[in-house]
Amino acid sequence: MATYSLEGPVTDLSTDSGIALYESALAFERTGGSEGSELRISGEVDFEHLNDEINDDDDDDDDDDEEEEGDDDAPIDPNDPDAARKKQERRDRQRQRYLDLKKKREAKKFTQLQQIRQDGEPVTMTHKAPRDGWYRFCVTSSWNQVIAEMEMRKESDLGGLNEEGHVRTYEEQKMMEEDKELEEDTATEEGIKDEDFQETRQKVKDLRRLLNDIQSMQQKERRRLTVHAETNEHSHSSMVLNSLMETLLFMAVTGYQVYTIRKWFSGAPVLGR
């Protein structure tokens, strides 16, 4: 388990030396920065127990209650002249209740899936900086050593946010620039009709998106392998430490037993008189 924190600005952009940055960071930690102009964010990440707090049990009690509430329609008299209309209205109500219930279940499932984070999936945060300056991002382990890979991106450099509401990655920005170049490119200079080149342009875009997805999957797989390797190493270290503690405890108990038996035998003749 590790704790991450983002704080700042510790100083303005005019600071250009490491010693000055270090002293400014210490001063920021003592004073807490200017009131209303500082950014302080922290949280915990446990890659060994990603989804222990997620409840996977299907809690359908509310859904069952809604279904029971919908079954209170009174029976329709077949001799009623409006029986056909009432039956149709009842079917419409039942269908609407079913659609509402299905929509609620899908929303609940989507919410649960959003809470689940898989191996290798990074912790992504997007926050607006209160003002220009130097910010510090720290990762602190709770007990054992951890390996962290950090990347800080600015919206002003990468041109906006992606569909998930986070700052675009460098790969996404590069792909958008290439798509823009394709849109601006015309084939008239080479004697090709633009409508003939349109399909080729779309195929190239799809191919680049597919390549970007493959690269993202490879990065995620590398991170997942790194997490597994570190988890295995931590588990091995814990097992070795536990074995050492058990061995020391066994030796201590054995030594105490030997001491007790020797003392008992040394006092036996005295007790036998």
In angstroms, rounded to a whole number, what is the distance separating the alpha carbons of residues 208 and 211? 5
Segments of the chain scoring below 50 in pLDDT: 53-54, 56, 58-61, 63-71, 270-273
Structure tokens at 253: 């108990």
pLDDT of residue 70: 47
> Residue ranges per domain, the chain?
1-50+117-152, 76-115, 190-268
Query: What pTM value is reported for the model?
Result: 0.47
pLDDT digits (tens, 9 = 90+) for 156-194: 888 788 877 888 888 778 877 777 776 665 555 666 666
pLDDT digits (tens, 9 = 90+) for 226-248: 777 877 877 888 888 889 999 99
How far out from the chain centre does Cα 251 lie? 45
Structure tokens at 77: 């008299």
Structure tokens at 229: 């390797």
Q: Based on the number of CB atoms within 10 Å of its own CB, is 28 exposed (0-12), middle (13-18) or buried (19 or more)?
A: buried
pLDDT of residue 270: 42
Give how far Cα 194 sits from Cα of 44, 185, 187, 191, 208, Å: 54, 10, 6, 9, 20
pLDDT of residue 42: 82
In angstroms, rounded to a whole number, what is the distance separating the alpha carbons of residues 172 and 253? 63
In angstroms, rounded to a whole number, what is the distance separating the alpha carbons of residues 71 and 151? 55
